[in-house]
Amino acid sequence: MGLSCRHKPGKVSALATILLLSGIGSGRGRIRMKRFIAAFVFVILLGANPCSAQTTAQAASPGPRKSVLDQKPAAHNTATAASAAAAGLSGAPLARDPIFVYNNWSAYDELSDNIPLTEQLAMKELDEILRLRRFGIRFDYYTIDAFWFDPDGGYRTWRKPNWPNGPDAWIRKCRENGILPGLWFSTNTLVKINAIPRWQNSLNEKKGAMAFFEGGFLPNFMETLQYWYDRGIRLYKFDFVDFGAATPETAKSKSAEEIRARNADAFRDALKQFRRRNPDVVLVAFNGFGGDVESTAGPFPFHSSVDLRWLEVFDSLYSGDPRPSDVPEMNFWRSMDIYSDHMVRRYEQSFLPLERIDSTGFMLGNTGTIYYRKTHAWKGALILMMARGGWVNTVYGSLELLSDDDARWFRKVQALYLPLESKGRTKTFGGIPGDVQPYGFGSLDGEGSVYAVVNPAESVEEVELPRLSREQAAVSGGRVLFRDAGFQPVLASDRIRLGPGQMAVVGFGKYSNAQYDLGIQEDVRIPQSIVPLEAAFVPHGKNTIQTEMNAPQKGDLRIIMQQRSPKDGSIMRSWKGGPPKGTNMGKVFTLSASQNGKPVPVEINYDKVIWSGLSWAVGEIRHSALKPSVSVVIECSSAEDDAVILEGKVFEVTY
């Protein structure tokens, strides 16, 4: 339940408190000043109390705004208002416990694909949530993502004919089943929505975004958020924000820095008031609130810095949509794991607590936004999403792709990690994922610890599993709970030996029991051995490199190509568009081989239309396709129009 407020002081009683405590009108100046300072601090702390803040906001509001849908199920007490202590500490979680959110993006996709959001699709996924809950899987919220709205309705009406009767049936069914509904907003940018009359005097010159600090947009937007709260919405996702928006007149008279600051301050203050009035809301921030998420090879610290004051109003800040990292991997999905791991580390290095980072790393679906992943390598992605320690755990996409057996496994992961998130701590260890250094996430409580560890390198590596706290028992007597297929990890005390590109989970103490076993991820196969081979690549035509070498006596050949900019040698992505009109990256980056003038097949896993771009190519030639000790010619090329630098490497791998 929300915090209860027995005493409801208004402005008069607050002022009286200051006067009484400060003793103004009596005593000498120095004593009065000390008392006044103490009184001022007291009132500041009083203002941090969500009860008094809520009361003040309600007193200023025109009458009650409660809805019949505003009966919160007891199951969601953990997601209500922050405690008084947390409200006064920047960085402390606003929610009281970790939450599980379902978001239907990637079950549909209207940006990188042509699969529309409809009421039928939304209700089908709600039925899937209820199916999975019968297996014990926890879901607290259900968020409808982008483009639910009528383009001319100012976020007040739903798009027809996709939602002929609006959202009432969806909201009602969610609430009846103890699930709190959420909605997506493109904040102050016009993404598939048009400016209504009250927004016109906030528009920038290009008519694509509205200023927060001038005109009618922000007051109307906050009224709209309250409108949906009164109808039962409890989670708000803010995306595509533009803090550089200003009216043409203001853009001429104020600096870009001042415009950004005034926009951010205005929106942050409005959200603070919204939280005080509605202390059980969950607010999550996505694109535009800081951080550089395009690439794992970008410079750090972020060019677009993260303003930690957003922690005062948001439960979480996201760290980028799923995409391949700039670390080449034979298994495409492992490179995506590395991307999410890397971005969480970078946000942590920007002083965000792990609890407040939403890695957005778990998506299922057969749409372009998730590269038609379906359920490929989904188990490792789910484990890593929870292992990263974020308190907003978001599951995206097509839940119908999970079988009943999958649901039972999913429940085991939740049963392992949710108590650790709620009652324990999570810490990072090892190197930086994008720098191709072994790394991991360790969680511990008073009874044991669990380490999720990844080796992104093209080599077998031994990784230390360090103590996460001086109060922690020695790290020994562990058990491998989960691993990729192929290479058998070797656990010895506080060290584990992993194959190239391999992930594993290790439990110690209570968690070394077989009841926590999560099995083997069969659709990610790691070589038993890997050996680098000497391969002198030389230019061979435009944006093409070539090498010639003898085929190995045993093992397959793994070929790796990395693309770099000729300007400064930095890693460079090629963007060739998203579905349905984008170019398959298998046609942009080509790996080919021949023996005795005849082509040899090269198996690749990156042959996808990748909206987020790619900087590498990896392929393998099976030993059965090669004649041992016979010369093989290998070519790597890029279809970029301008000149690029290509680097090539070759390894012998044995499965």
If we measure between CA atoms, which residue out of 176, 100, 171 comes closest to residue 136? Answer: 100
Residues 102 and 84 in one domain: no
Across-strand partners of 557? 621, 652
In the predicted structure, residue 73 carries a pLDDT above the cut 90: no
In the predicted structure, residue 44 carries a pLDDT above the cut 60: no
In this prediction, residue 156 carries a pLDDT of 98
Residues 460 and 414 in one domain: no
Most confident option among 19-33, 64-78, 278-292: 278-292
**Per the domain annotation, does 426 fall within a domain?**
no
Residues 370 and 234 in one domain: yes
Among 95, 110, 133, the domain-final residue is 95
Q: What's 647's domain CATH number?
A: 2.60.120
**Per the domain annotation, does 427 fall within a domain?**
no
Residues 274 and 149 in one domain: yes
pLDDT band for 81, please (50, 70, 90 cuts): very low
Distance CA 147, CA 158 (A): 9
Q: For residue 450, give the amino acid letter.
A: V
Residues 293 and 228 in one domain: yes
Is 608 within 8 Å of 601 (Cβ atoms)? Answer: no
Residues 474 and 548 in one domain: no
Residue environment code for 4-24, b if the CB has 16+ CB neighbours within 10 A, otherwise e: eeeeebeeeeeeeeeeebbee
Report whether the peptide linkage leading into residue 580 is cis, meaning its omega lies within 30 degrees of zero.
yes
In the predicted structure, residue 283 carries a pLDDT above the cut 90: yes
If we measure between CA atoms, which residue out of 529, 534, 542 comes closest to residue 649? Answer: 534
**Per the domain annotation, does 424 fall within a domain?**
no
Residues 105 and 130 in one domain: yes
In this prediction, residue 5 carries a pLDDT of 37
Is 79 within 8 Å of 119 (Cβ atoms)? Answer: no
Residues 339 and 269 in one domain: yes
Using alpha carbons only, give the angle 394, 398, 403 rounded to the nearest 5 degrees.
100
Distance CA 479, CA 511 (A): 8
Sheet containing 529-533, strands listed edge to edge, beginning at the edge strand earlier in sequence? 529-533, 645-654, 556-564, 616-621, 603-604
DSSP string, 40-102: HHHHHHHHHSHHHHHHHHHHHSSS----TT----GGGGGGSPPPHHHHTSTTS-SSSS-EEEE
In this prediction, residue 92 carries a pLDDT of 54
Residues 260 and 277 in one domain: yes
Q: For residue 355, give the amino acid letter.
A: E
In the predicted structure, residue 575 carries a pLDDT above the cut 50: yes
pLDDT band for 608, please (50, 70, 90 cuts): very high
In the predicted structure, residue 122 carries a pLDDT above the cut 50: yes
If we measure between CA atoms, which residue out of 650, 645, 653 comes closest to residue 632? Answer: 650
**Per the domain annotation, does 423 fall within a domain?**
no
Place of tokens 């009108």: 25
If we measure between CA atoms, which residue out of 396, 388, 510 comes closest to residue 448? Answer: 510
Paired tokens of 374: 């379906």
In this prediction, residue 95 carries a pLDDT of 74
**Per the domain annotation, does 425 fall within a domain?**
no
What is the pTM assigned to this prediction? 0.87
**Per the domain annotation, does 164 fall within a domain?**
yes
Residues 6+ apart with CB under 8 A from 451: 429, 440, 441, 442, 443, 465, 505, 506, 507, 508
If you average pLDDT over residues 516-535, what whole number do you get?
98
Q: What's 138's domain CATH number?
A: 3.20.20.70
Number of domains, the chain: 4
In the predicted structure, residue 39 carries a pLDDT above the cut 70: no
Residues 575 and 650 in one domain: yes
Range of the domain at 411: 96-418
**Per the domain annotation, does 612 fall within a domain?**
yes
In this prediction, residue 580 carries a pLDDT of 85
Residues 86 and 182 in one domain: no
Classified as helix, coil or strand, 15 is helix
Residues 6+ apart with CB under 8 A from 263: 188, 211, 212, 213, 243, 244, 245, 246
Which DSSP state fits 472? Answer: S
In this prediction, residue 236 carries a pLDDT of 98
**Largest alpha-carbon pair distance within the chain?**
103
Rounded mean pLDDT of the chain?
89
Residues 265 and 165 in one domain: yes
pLDDT in tens, 171-211: 999 999 999 999 999 999 999 999 999 999 999 999 999 99
If we measure between CA atoms, which residue out of 481, 622, 646 comes closest to residue 563? Answer: 646
pLDDT band for 96, please (50, 70, 90 cuts): confident
DSSP string, 482-528: EEEEES--EEETTEEEE-TT-EEEEEEEGGGSGGG--EEEEEEEE-S
If we measure between CA atoms, which residue out of 407, 425, 481, 500 comes closest to residue 491? Answer: 481
Among 46, 69, 95, the domain-final residue is 95
Among 70, 95, 120, the domain-final residue is 95
Paired tokens of 222: 């906050």
Q: What's 444's domain CATH number?
A: 2.60.40.1180
pLDDT in tens, 350-403: 999 999 999 999 999 999 999 999 999 999 999 999 999 999 999 999 999 999
pLDDT band for 27, please (50, 70, 90 cuts): very low
pLDDT band for 93, please (50, 70, 90 cuts): low
**Per the domain annotation, does 80 fall within a domain?**
yes
Report whether the peptide linkage leading into residue 301 is cis, meaning its omega lies within 30 degrees of zero.
yes
In the predicted structure, residue 40 carries a pLDDT above the cut 60: no
Packed helices 29-48 and 11-22: angle between N→C axes, nearest 10 degrees: 150
Indicate the pairing of strand 180-185 with strand 235-238.
Answer: parallel
